[in-house]
Chains A and B, each alone.
Chain A
């Protein structure tokens, strides 16, 4: 019996043959945390050890509330900076880096075959590059800092075979929403999701990051694309050290296999208040919105900003709409400056904010009042997430978001070609 990519990667770390269902204890390659490091530090202090076990494995990125919006957050950041200095943690990214899920790939930490655990639910993003990456909690992160060990259950794998090509105006985000709408928010709970099939190789690394990121909304433990020539090319000049490429054997055991034809896909929108409440664009077009958010770890990359700019070019943000744009990282920000995308967005009347998580998690930079509606390129639309419990969030692609900002109501990007 062959092995899945996940079984191979975890087996290599465990130093033995492993299969789905087995519980193993391993030493991860990267332990990620962000602003919540402040809370993790408090838990770590309770463990009675002075030093983290492997400072070189810890990566801390400040992204959730940057720059600090009040004294409490400022104190959190300060205590993190002090801890980083005290422990000699070499990989610390302050407020001028961007969202961790963009920074780790850009900075060459997210590599094929690596095991990455992170105190953030969208840690599975790194599967886009063939890593095994999964989210854990704060206490668990503190304990992993201290022990350099974590227990994991080797997950079963669901494979999604992709064929065909996206039509104009349709993107990886639409595919992810369609999958979650068709199969529900726990479609892959506890499991790995492999994105495969003849179309998988056509996906850009950015599009792969979007899908792996959204695998968290499928409930997945990890979501991934097997590394290919595109992966290796993207990693040139970025990879920090060697890595081992793995992919699933042809006779690997998949718990289930779904097939999707990209040609048949149209733009999708997730409606309030669950990510699996998905409708085709035609069913929701015309709904007025107050705010549009283009950015986040799901859809804040250069290709996302350029897809939005293609629609904004020569057009204006509707007078009744606040359109917020947040490049996922400062690398993306600088690239979008050079490509001219940011100039188009600024000319159109978008408000361009500093790289970070922005209002996605409801802490600052664009919180909504009661009754307000936002169409966002982010990954969650739970009640109250972006402000008042009586505000609403719709989720869609950057192109749909840009079309919506121009129209002042939810709009089909294919009408703005």
Chain B
């Protein structure tokens, strides 16, 4: 369980505004990436985000480039989860592979606004706030093993070690 506040954005938040292309081919650690998170969408975000915060957005979050930093920079910034109406497919895979929770919940997207305090309970599948308790769609079985292992690298490491 984690507590934090909401950062709210609209539809089609693309990977160029989550992590600009000018930094994409510079290799940097996640905490350095975090300094550029959402730089071209919300210049206030990187300096003010706190561990446990969640991002709430509309449909097709993470559309565009396959750049994994768009998930890594949010994780590096301490973002606990992204809650959206839908996700672009590569972003969805990348987030799972890095251990960033990506949750679909229309009701939460409709109700929650910037600054709202929320408790996120991944195990129970709930987001709780003063505006109500929202249940999100369970993740597909195929990805739970990866999330449980802490991401695809750890999952693959264990698998390779068994061989």
**Which residues of the other chain, B, contact A189 by a CB distance below 8 angstroms?**
60, 86, 88-89
**Which residues of the other chain, B, contact A39 by a CB distance below 8 angstroms?**
27, 68
With A143-B156, A382-B14 already in contact, the answer to whether A153 and B60 are too (CB < 8 A) is no
Whether the pair B156, A219 counts as a contact (CB closer than 8 A) is no
Whether the pair A48, B60 counts as a contact (CB closer than 8 A) is no
A301 CB → nearest B CB, Å: 22
Whether the pair B25, A65 counts as a contact (CB closer than 8 A) is yes
Whether the pair B97, A73 counts as a contact (CB closer than 8 A) is no
Please name the residue on chain A nearest to B22 by beta carbon.
A362
A325 CB → nearest B CB, Å: 21
A382-393 interface mask toward B, CB cutoff 8 Å, 1 = contact, 0 = none? 111100010000
Whether the pair A147, B160 counts as a contact (CB closer than 8 A) is yes
Whether the pair A46, B17 counts as a contact (CB closer than 8 A) is no
Interface size class of A (residues with CB under 8 A): 35 or more
**Which residues of the other chain, A, contact B88 by a CB distance below 8 angstroms?**
186, 189, 219
Name the one of A138, A185, A221, A384 contacting B17, with C-beta atoms under 8 angstroms.
A384
A136, A380, A382 pick with most chain B CB within 10 angstroms: A382
With A42-B27, A47-B153 already in contact, the answer to whether A139 and B94 are too (CB < 8 A) is yes
Prevailing SS type, chain A contact patch: loop
Whether the pair B97, A121 counts as a contact (CB closer than 8 A) is no
Q: Is A274 an interface residue (CB 8 A)?
A: yes
A76, A121, A367, A389 pick with most chain B CB within 10 angstroms: A121
5 smallest CB-CB distances across A and B, nearest first, come from: A382-B16, A362-B21, A137-B94, A186-B60, A384-B40
B residues near A, CB below 8 A? Answer: 12, 14-17, 20-22, 24-27, 39-41, 59-60, 63-68, 71, 86, 88-90, 93-94, 97-98, 140-142, 151-153, 156-157, 159-161
A residues near B, CB below 8 A? Answer: 23, 35-36, 38-39, 42-43, 46-49, 64-65, 72-73, 76, 119-121, 123, 135-140, 142-143, 146-147, 151, 153, 185-186, 189-190, 219, 221, 274, 276, 361-363, 367, 380, 382-385, 389
